[in-house]
């Protein structure tokens, strides 16, 4: 039983990464009806930006410019990196998606893929092929709760992710921007006529999605400090599948499906040999999609919906 709860903790942690990334996919899909295939690499860029920011802050503290506790450095790192990465996301939208607004959607998928490759290779060119190590900012403390070992890092990751998701929910529900996004997702044609600029909203969506991906990247780096330029590929595609599973454009769906994917993966690895993890996880997803083609919370797709 403790083994089971141990895995629940792990699954919650993995699920947080997936859910945070899947949210970015889902938001972009909700508004522009296209998949941002560069999103996985934005996750990677976010982790690297976090690495840079954290490294800089640690160096400043070491030089004695000011003194900060480790957890505050981490919080600052997350905030600054989310901000910086949101600019990366906006740039991706500006370069890869805005010129293609009227083009077939598949063309935009190709530019997204290609921007992803450019981000990976650009990183490789800038930093070289060696892997970098994220500085450890908080001491790992392990608590023993009735035989289940919980580290403070895991708790932190899950709590921060949940806080970010709540913040996103509030942003979408309460703010003017969020209202504009929901309106745009509701009707792509009429809302621009009401004086809402689709370009601004699209930019904003990419910015928010990228910021969440950056947060996921840093949280991932806290748990698994070794970063490499291709880490975004696997995560990105899996989170993409999670976004679909949740229902395209559905924020709640993406969150739940992200956690579900985490649970499936961890529990498959618990029961079967871990090499079978992808095989079984994807088969389960296929099965779910076969019975619920639109995901958990998605609307039935209509080709005429937004043309």
Partner 1 sequence: MTTLRDRLRNAFFQVPLLGWFFGTLTAVFLERFLGTPVAEALGLAKIPVLFGCDIILKDPQRAPGAVAYVLVIYVLPILCVGKLTASLANRLAGRLLGLSAGLSVIFHLALLYAGLHVWSEVSDYRILTLKLTLIAIMVTLSLNIINGYMGEFSCSHPGFMALGAYAASVFNLTFFVNHKLFGPSMLPAGLGPFMFPLALVVGGAVAALGALAIAIPSFRTRGDYLAIISLAFMFIVKSMIENLEIVGGPRGLSSQPDWADLPTVFTWTVICVWIINNFVRSTLGKALNAVRDDEMAADAMTVNTRRTKIVAFLFGAFWAGVAGGLFAHVLRYVNPSTFGIQKLAEVLAMVYFGGLNSVYGSIVGAVSLSLLGEALRPLEMFKWIIIPTLLILVMIFRPTGLIAFREFNVLHLIRPKL
Report yes or no: 189 and 138 within 8 Å, Cβ to Cβ.
no
Length of the chain: 307
**CB of 193: closest distance to partner 1 in angstroms?**
25
Name residues whose C-beta falls within 8 Å of residue 160's C-beta, 6 or more positions apart in sequence. Answer: 78, 215, 219
Instruction: Return residues touching partner 1 (CB under 8 A).
Output: 35, 95-96, 99-100, 103-111, 113-115, 117-118, 120-122, 124-125, 233, 237, 240-241, 244, 248, 275-279, 282-283, 285-286, 289-290, 293-294, 300-301, 303
**CB of 184: closest distance to partner 1 in angstroms?**
19
**CB of 251: closest distance to partner 1 in angstroms?**
18
What whole-number distance in Å separates Cα of residue 72 and Cα of residue 76?
6
Task: Give one DSSP letter per residue of 69-114, joined into a string.
Answer: -HHHHHHHHHHHHHHHHHHHHHHHIIIIIGGGTTS-HHHHHHHHHH
| Comparison of 69 and 293: residue with beta carbon closer to partner 1 | 293
Provide the 10 A C-beta neighbour count for residue 212: 30
Buried b (16+ CB within 10 A) or exposed e, 240-257: bbbbbbbbbbbbebbbbb
| Comparison of 196 and 233: residue with beta carbon closer to partner 1 | 233
Q: How far is CA 23 from CA 214, 244, 266, 271, in A?
A: 12, 10, 21, 29
**CB of 283: closest distance to partner 1 in angstroms?**
6
**CB of 285: closest distance to partner 1 in angstroms?**
6
Q: Quick check: helix, strand or coil at residue 144?
A: strand
**CB of 50: closest distance to partner 1 in angstroms?**
23
**CB of 80: closest distance to partner 1 in angstroms?**
27
What whole-number distance in Å separates Cα of residue 168 and Cα of residue 140?
28
Provide the 10 A C-beta neighbour count for residue 199: 12
Name residues whose C-beta falls within 8 Å of residue 240's C-beta, 6 or more positions apart in sequence. Answer: 22, 25, 35, 37, 39, 40
């Amino acid at each position: 039983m403790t083994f089971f709860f141990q895995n629940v903790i792990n699954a919650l942690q993995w699920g947080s990464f997936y859910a945070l990334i899947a949210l970015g996919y889902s938001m972009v899909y909700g508004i522009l009806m296209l998949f941002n295939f560069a999103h996985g690499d934005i996750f990677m860029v976010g982790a690297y930006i976090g690495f840079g920011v954290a490294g800089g802050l640690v160096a400043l503290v070491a030089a004695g410019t000011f003194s900060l506790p480790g957890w505050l450095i981490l919080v600052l790192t997350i905030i600054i990196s989310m901000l910086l990465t949101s600019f990366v996301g906006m740039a991706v939208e500006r370069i890869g998606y805005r010129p293609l607004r009227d083009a077939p959607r598949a063309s935009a998928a190709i530019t997204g893929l290609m921007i992803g490759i450019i981000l990976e290779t650009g990183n490789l060119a800038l930093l070289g092929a060696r892997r970098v190590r994220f500085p450890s900012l908080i001491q790992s403390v392990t608590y023993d709760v009735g035989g289940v070992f919980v580290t403070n890092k895991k708790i932190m990751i899950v709590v921060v992710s949940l806080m970010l998701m709540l913040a996103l929910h509030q942003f979408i529900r309460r703010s003017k921007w969020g209202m504009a996004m929901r309106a745009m997702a509701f009707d792509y044609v009429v809302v621009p006529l009401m004086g809402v600029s689709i370009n601004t909203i699209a930019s904003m969506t990419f910015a928010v999605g990228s910021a969440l991906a950056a947060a996921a990247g840093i949280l991932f780096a806290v748990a698994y400090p070794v970063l490499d330029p291709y880490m975004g590929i696997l995560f990105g595609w899996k989170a993409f599948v999670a976004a679909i599973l949740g229902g395209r454009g559905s924020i709640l769906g993406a969150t739940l499906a992200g956690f579900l994917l985490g649970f499936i993966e961890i529990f498959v690895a618990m029961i079967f040999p871990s090499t079978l993890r992808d095989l079984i996880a994807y088969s389960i997803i296929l099965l779910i999609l076969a019975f619920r083609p639109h995901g958990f919370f998605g609307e039935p797709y209509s080709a005429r919906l937004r043309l």
